[in-house]
Amino acid sequence: MRLPRSISGLLLLLSSLATSTPYTGPLTCLPSGTLMPTPSYPLTQTSNPIFTVCSTLSISPPQTQNCTHILTALQDFPRYPSWNSFARIDALSPPPLTVGSPILITSFGLFPAGLPSSTVELISFWSESWVARGRQDEGKMVYLTAWKLELPGVMKAEHASTVVDEGDGACRYMSWETYFGPGSVLVREGLGEGLEDGFESQGLELKAWVEGGNV
């Protein structure tokens, strides 16, 4: 279909505006025990946030690569078993994955005796890039991917990962998840520490995988 020139010009303008949407979400982990909003869920009385798990570290991709390769590694679910001992993700719909695609997340090490725990979640942000605003990272590109769990009336949670160019070939990776709703109290009591350890080890393993030139 051929669009009249004015319309294609408008679409071009809209898409360039979309890629420069300012990012005003978190860019650093807050001290353990502090709640953080997620890209879809604000911290309000009605959202009833219960706890946040957050992990961040600096990753330096090989010289011929850049920060987007970290996002590529995070989105390459079939290769998770090669580097990630904490979580596996399986797509539950045919490719390509996009916002709204269902995924099955299996975590290891949360329950005693190595029993896995599985949840079906939905991709909420896939390959977003934003410009950071109002923080020390003002003007830098922020790459974001996220998925969320929704169990109506029980709990919801969103796990987001951001990558920001720090300059000098380094990228700041941050991964955080906030749990909302009454069911989250049990999750915090039973699995909170395991989740913190899992997020830490996942970050270290991602760093080793990317810096080892595997992406």
Ligand X SMILES: *[C@@H]1O[C@H](CO)[C@@H](O)[C@H](O)[C@H]1NC(C)=O
Q: Which residues of this protein are in contact with ligand X, per CB under 6 A?
A: 66, 68
Q: Convert the chain into a string of H (helix), E (strand) and C (coil).
A: CCCCHHHHHHHHHHHHHHHCCEECCCCCCCCCCCCCCCCCCCCCCCCCEEEEEEEEEEECCCCCCCCHHHHHHHHCHHHHHHHCCCEEEEECCCCCCCCCCEEEEEECCCCHHHCCEEEEEEEEEEEEEEEECCCCCCCCEEEEEEEEEEECCCEEEEEEEEEEEEECCEEEEEEEEEEECCHHHHHHHHHHHHHHHHHHHHHHHHHHHHHCCCC
- CB of 112 or CB of 168, closer to ligand X: 168
Strand ranges inside 18-152, DSSP E: 22-23, 49-59, 87-91, 102-107, 117-132, 141-151
Tell me how far, at minimum, the Cβ of 162 lies from ligand X, in Å: 15
Shortest spacing between CB 213 and ligand X, in angstroms:
13
Which residue of this chain has its Cβ atom nearest to ligand X in the complex? 66
- Closest distance of CB 80 from ligand X, Å: 21
Cβ proximity to ligand X: between 54 and 163 the closer is: 163
User: What's the token pair of residue 143?
Assistant: 């790459």
To ligand X, the closest distance from the beta carbon of 57 in angstroms equals 20
| Comparison of 23 and 147: residue with beta carbon closer to ligand X | 23
| Rounded least distance, CB 211 to ligand X, Å | 16
Query: For residues 159 and 172, which CB has a smaller minimum distance to ligand X in the complex?
Result: 172
Q: Would you say 173 or 199 has its CB closer to ligand X?
A: 173
C-beta of residue 163 within 8 angstroms of C-beta of residue 191: no
Q: Cβ closer to ligand X: 162 or 184?
A: 162
Residue 66 C-beta: closest distance to ligand X, Å: 4
